[in-house]
Amino acid sequence: MAIGNILIVDDDRHICELLRTIVEGDGYAAMTANDGAAALRLFEEKHPDVILLDVMMPGMDGLQVLRRIREKSKVPVLIISAKSDPIDEAMALKLGADDFIHKPFNKTVVLARIEARTRQNDPMPTVPSKRRVEYDGLVVDLDGYVLRVKGQRIETPPKELQLLYCLASNPNHVYTRDQLLDEVWGFEYYGDSRTIDVHIKRLREKLDGVSDKWQLRTVWGVGYKFAVPEESE
């Protein structure tokens, strides 16, 4: 179970609730603010462990909020913004942001970035990493973004690794293509769901013949699952 209290700041209430659902689903407590003044008030009253902060807000924008926070605290602040100009990202980091996540974001990346920051703030972590799964001949480490097959490190694009982790961390659970897109590419991804088929094909090429104790399996008419032999077919 994750530990931490997260302040989510965005003038878009839908984004706030989406992020709340994501972080609470991973065990964090969450609170939201829809403007800079409310964000600073909650920061003063609740002392959050991590802040997810939008930039473009009416009135006091996210960078102004960040400046005010940095006058008093080194709490991790992760900027989540639709602005893609490298100058904006550089400015946020210069003002003291700990990370910059671009919209549209995806669940896996947001949680990994939060976990990285909370782990840095805890010099003696008592909770082992959740983002590593191991099977016969296979290690999927999402903390280090490493795939090992029979002990050998295999270069794997991030989306492929995230897709494999999603399936392998929930063995025998059948995912539709749309569910996998939500989990890996993010709720705001509007591409073709058949991109999942392409990534599965590439993963199978890497994992072919590794073990008879697990398999990336197609569930016809539905989607995919990471099958283990305990399930009777």
Domain boundaries along the sequence of the chain: 5-120, 157-227
| 5-120 and 157-227 agree in CATH topology | no
**Residue range 5-120 in CATH 3.40.50.10490:** no
How much is the pLDDT for 90?
86
- Is residue 138 helix, strand or coil? strand
Q: Give the pTM.
A: 0.54
Question: Rounded to 5 degrees, what are φ and ψ at 223?
Answer: 175, -125
Tokens of 143: 């903390």
Q: How far apart are CA 98 and CA 27, in angstroms?
A: 22
Could you tell me which residues are beta bridge partners of residue 223? Answer: 176, 219
How much is the pLDDT for 183?
82
The answer to whether the beta carbons of residues 138 and 149 sit under 8 Å apart is yes
pLDDT lower than 50: segments of the chain: 1-2, 123-129, 231-233
The answer to whether the beta carbons of residues 131 and 165 sit under 8 Å apart is yes
User: Which of 112, 223, 220 is CA-nearest to residue 173?
Assistant: 223
How much is the pLDDT for 158?
85
User: Which of 166, 49, 168, 61 is CA-nearest to residue 177?
Assistant: 166
**Measured in whole angstroms, how far is the alpha carbon of residue 72 from the centre of its chain?**
28
How much is the pLDDT for 140?
93
Within a 10 A sphere around the Cβ of 156, how many other Cβ atoms? 19
What CATH code would you report for 157-227?
A: 1.10.10.10
Burial of 105 (0-12, 13-18, 19+ CB in 10 A): buried
The answer to whether the beta carbons of residues 193 and 178 sit under 8 Å apart is yes
Q: How far apart are CA 10 and CA 13, in angstroms?
A: 7
E-assigned strand segments in 76-122: 77-81, 99-102
For the beta sheet containing 175-176, the strands, ordered from the edge strand earlier in sequence to the opposite edge, are 175-176, 223-227, 215-219
- What is the sign, positive or negative, of the torsion defined by CA atoms of 145, 110, 25, 177? negative
Q: How far apart are CA 69 and CA 191, in angstroms?
A: 37
Within a 10 A sphere around the Cβ of 71, how many other Cβ atoms? 8
- Is residue 200 helix, strand or coil? helix
Q: How far apart are CA 152 and CA 147, in angstroms?
A: 8
How much is the pLDDT for 105?
87
How much is the pLDDT for 120?
60
